Amino acid sequence: MAAGLRLWRLLLLLLLAVLAVAAAAAGGGGEGDERAPALFVFGDSLIDNGNNNNLASFAKANYFPYGIDFAGGPTGRFCNGYTIVDELAELLGLPLVPAYSEASSVQQVLQGANYASAAAGILDDSGGNFAGRIPFNQQIQNFESTVAQIAAATGASAAASRVARSILFVGMGSNDYLNNYLSPNYDTSRRYGPQQFADLLVRQFASQLTRLYNAGARKFVVAGVGAMGCIPSVLAQSVTGGCSQEVDALVLPFNANVRAMLDGLNANLAGARFTYLDNFRIFRAILANPAAFGFSVVDRGCCGIGRNGGQITCLPFMPPCADRERYVFWDAYHPTAAVNVIIARQAFQGRADVMAPINVQQLARL
């Protein structure tokens, strides 16, 4: 009798699990599903949320004080709190999406997954000075595995519909400059001029985005490379302590190429909707008038060592600044959560000068 009861309980649990997967796949269950059923994230340390934790990598942030203002503590986010995609998930009515490396079941990825990896680039060899990382090509392969996993659980038709209605956020390119073109242990800058390198990157980038389209994705938010000339690590290398116009000018051809490339993909890939996040413009606006955004410290990291808090980045158990909400930069390379939230909200409902041709809210409702 007891054995029979245990069997019935097991069958009931299995039935409930199947129903939960089916309900999620159908898109029911809340306001967020009316906007987008899932958010899938690709990128580098600006939006990594833990994929590097178990890699043999120097690019890790799974220690205090990273995450000091995040409910989960140090998770692998290179920030004191929210990343851009954390805030975007909330604005879309979704839970914070899990790191792909930590998602062990299909239920965990039905509403999205984060494939981003610190030190990753568009080019496979970018970021090699940090050892382990997951380049964009491998992130795409991991997404293809996720799509297959969802299809196996929900059926091919339901999976295709879900992926097509989901939003993909792609933020790549920073490491191709900071940890490739501008790095002394690479010969890239001797082989390519700035425009040639931008052309090389965007040819590869277009192929990679098309691969995501071929995996079933249709709605894309693609972020340009942000203004890097004023980050603490660059300031610390400056003789005058000022921002580097040369570094900022270096990435402008890439951003211009990306915008033109996305226009071409929109025209040539049936049903695709690519929109561009001009985080370079947003960041420059913050630096030009920090007080208007609630900031007062723009020239050093909240957690770091040396000139501008940028010569050595935030080390384990290093005490950070107390008034973090007043700082633009968290460490030598990354913005604070306060900046990330501003960028995410601009992405979600910003005008065409920062989100072109449409913002995330409009994209989700298509």
Q: Rounded to an integer, what distance in angstroms lies between the CA atom of residue 125 and that of residue 176?
A: 9
Q: Over the stretch 42-67, which tens digit does the pLDDT of each residue have?
A: 999 999 999 999 999 999 999 999 99
User: Can you list the domains of the chain with their CATH numbers?
Assistant: 2-365 (3.40.50.1110)
Tell me, yes or no, if 166 is annotated catalytic: no
For residue 31, give Cα distances in angstroms to 27, 36, 40, 44, 178.
Answer: 10, 9, 18, 29, 40
Q: Looking at the DSSP assignment, which residues form a beta bridge with residue 130?
A: none
Catalytic residue from among 33, 57, 278, 334: 334
pLDDT number for residue 6 = 47
Catalytic residue from among 44, 45, 244, 278: 45
Q: Are 345 and 333 in contact (CB under 8 A)?
A: no
pLDDT number for residue 240 = 85
206-210-216 Cα angle (round to 5)? 155
Q: Are 207 and 140 in contact (CB under 8 A)?
A: no
Catalytic residue from among 48, 176, 299, 331: 331
- Asked whether the predicted pLDDT for residue 16 surpasses 50, the reply is no
Helix axes 136-154, 2-26, angle to 10 degrees: 120
Tell me, yes or no, if 334 is annotated catalytic: yes
Q: Which whole number is the average pLDDT over 191-211? A: 98
Tell me, yes or no, if 207 is annotated catalytic: no
Choose among 339, 201, 356, 240: nearest CA to 283.
339
Q: Rounded to an integer, what distance in angstroms lies between the CA atom of residue 335 and that of residue 279?
A: 12
Q: Over the stretch 52-106, which tens digit does the pLDDT of each residue have?
A: 999 999 999 999 999 999 999 999 999 999 999 999 999 999 999 999 999 999 9
